[in-house]
Chain A
């Protein structure tokens, strides 16, 4: 697959046009994925990707626990219209995750939303990022602690 924007094969080669920024972004995205508790990073990436591209499914994750269902609910609203994330929804997230975990989860949503839309607009496929748990975390368990 080749983008109309300079013939880049994937997101990584496109971002490499800005070497310093691309390296920092890759590190930040990888750190964010690793900082997310349990399967939340993978769930966020999968659900937001599914909503924006129409590709993918959460079926591979199997049953979700209450914390994971809340992460998915916030991710869906984040992608649809961030104004719809209200106090009640954030309170639900806080019942399952500590503030530091919520910071990581929201960072992950921002990256998933922004870069999935960027890839769609520029017509380039994703490239693996360091520490990205998307392809492996579907089989791990949730370790998030309540606030």
Chain B
């Protein structure tokens, strides 16, 4: 997997990363942030379980986050 972002940053003077690339589409970035926050802050699964899934998924997909 590429270690260099394949899209430019949409934020002047800030490096390209997941957030600054999503900023090309501010509406989607906001909606995604809201949904992601709800996912992590609410629900029936405890945080250790969610984090274990996240880490395993990130390892398999080579996600750097």
Contact = CB atoms under 8 A, between A and B. Distances in A.
A99 B32 CA distance: 17
B24 A24 contact: no
Interface in A79-113: 82-83, 86-87, 90, 94, 98-100, 102-104, 107
B35 A24 contact: yes
A98 B21 CA distance: 12
B49 interface: no
Majority DSSP secondary structure for residues of A touching B:
helix
Contacts of B31: 24, 27-28, 31
29 contacts: A18-B42, A20-B38, A20-B42, A21-B35, A21-B38, A21-B39, A21-B43, A24-B31, A24-B34, A24-B35, A27-B31, A28-B32, A28-B35, A31-B31, A35-B25, A35-B27, A82-B1, A83-B61, A90-B6, A98-B24, A99-B8, A99-B10, A99-B21, A99-B24, A100-B24, A102-B7, A102-B24, A104-B28, A107-B32
A72 B39 CA distance: 30
Contacts of A28: 28, 31-32, 35
Contacts of B1: 82-83
A25 B27 contact: no
B56 to A, nearest CB: 15
Contacts of B8: 99
Contacts of B61: 82-83
B43 A18 contact: yes
A116 interface: no
A25 B43 CA distance: 14
